[in-house]
Amino acid sequence: MKRELIVAIDGPSGAGKSTLSKLLASRLGYVNIDTGAMYRAVALAAHLRNIDITDDQALGRLCQTLNIEFERLADGERVLLNGEDVSQAIRTPEVSLLTSAVSARPAVRQSMLELQRQLGAQGGVVLEGRDIGTVVFPRAEVKFFLLASAAERGRRRFEELRAKGLSVELERTIAEVEARDEADSAREHAPLLQAEDAVAIDSTALSIEQVLETMLEVVCRRRSLANLPRGGCS
C-alpha cells in the first residue's frame, strides 16, 4: 500500500514553523510532530532532576526514563512528560535557553532521533525542527526551510510570550533569539542547516495564509506525482 508523505519543516526559532506545521498537518489530515517540544521536555526534566547538562551519560540515562507524548485536543495540543502536562512549563525563556544546550548533546540527539523516526515512519506526518530534512528523514518527500529576519522572529516571540501573560522585553527577546540561532547553527552535532533539496520560504513579509498556500501547493504537487488521494488538496 502507498504510504502518505513525510513533510519536513526546518528553520530557526520564530520563523513560524510551529504555526505552519500545525495548519499544514490539519489541512492535509496529517499528524503534526513538534520535535522542539521533545527537546524542551528533556531540558525541563534535566532541570527538575538537577542533572549536569554536560554529563552525556546522565542525560542518556534520563532520556530512557522519559515518556514524551502529544495529546491532541479540540482547542490545541498538549505535551505530556511522564503523563504530566508540561505545555506551559517548557515554553519559558529559561527552559528555551537550557534547551539550546541540552539539544546539542549527542546522547540526547540520538535518543530523540530514534523516537522521531518511530513516530514518522508510517508517513502522513509533518515534522518540524532543525534537522528533520538533513538528519532525521533525509529522504522525506517534501522539505521546507522556513526563514525570517531575526528582528521579525524576535518580535513574533515577544508577542507570543506577552499574550501568555509573561513579562518580557522586546530587545531582550530579540537578543535571545539571536543567541539561540548562534548556538543552534554553531553546534557540532546536527546543526541547523538547509537541506539542498529543501524549498526555502522567507516569511518576513508574508502572512501565515500566504506561507500556508505556498506550502500546500508544493505538497499537493508532490502528492499528485505520487498518485496519492487528493485529501486536503483542492
Q: Which stretch binds ligand DC (CB under 6 A): 24-32, 70-78, 99-107, 213-221?
A: 99-107
**9 vs 28, beta carbon nearer ligand DC:** 9
Interface pick for ligand DC out of 21, 32, 35, 173 (rule CB under 6 A): 35
Does residue 32 interact with ligand DC by CB under 6 A? Answer: no
**How many Å is the Cα radius of gyration of the chain?**
17
What is residue 133's three-state secondary structure? helix
Q: What is the C-alpha separation between 132 and 139, in angstroms, rounded?
A: 10
Q: What is the DSSP string of 59-78?
A: HHHHHHH--EEEEEETTEEE
Under rule CB under 6 A, residue 4 binds ligand DC? no
Q: Which residues pair with 76 in a beta bridge?
A: 73
Phi first, then psi: what are they for 127, rounded to 5°?
Answer: -110, 130
Q: Does 99 bind ligand DC (CB under 6 A)?
A: yes
Nearest to 134 by CA among 154, 109, 157: 109
Residue at grid coordinates 554536560: 54
Among 40, 105, 153, 223, binds ligand DC (CB under 6 A): 40
Sign of CA dihedral 72, 73, 75, 79: negative
Least distance from ligand DC to the Cβ atom of residue 130, Å = 4
Q: In this complex, which beta carbon is closest to ligand DC, that of residue 157 or of residue 223?
A: 157
- Compute CA distances 117 → 6, 67, 99, 152, whole Å: 11, 15, 20, 32
Taking contact as CB under 6 A, which single stretch among the options 24-32, 44-52, 126-134, 169-177 is the one that binds ligand DC?
Answer: 126-134
Touching ligand DC, residues 172-211 (CB under 6 A) = 180, 184
Candidates 33-41, 70-78, 79-87, 165-173; binding stretch for ligand DC (CB under 6 A): 33-41
The single residue among 16, 129, 133, 154 that binds ligand DC, judged by CB under 6 A, is: 129
Determine the size of the site formed for ligand DC (CB under 6 A).
13
Of 4, 131, 141, 176, the one binding ligand DC by CB under 6 A: 131
Q: Tell me if 141 contacts ligand DC by CB under 6 A.
A: no
The span from the CA of 63 to the CA of 65, in Å, is: 5
Contact positions toward ligand DC, by CB under 6 A? 13, 35-36, 39-40, 99-100, 103, 129-131, 180, 184
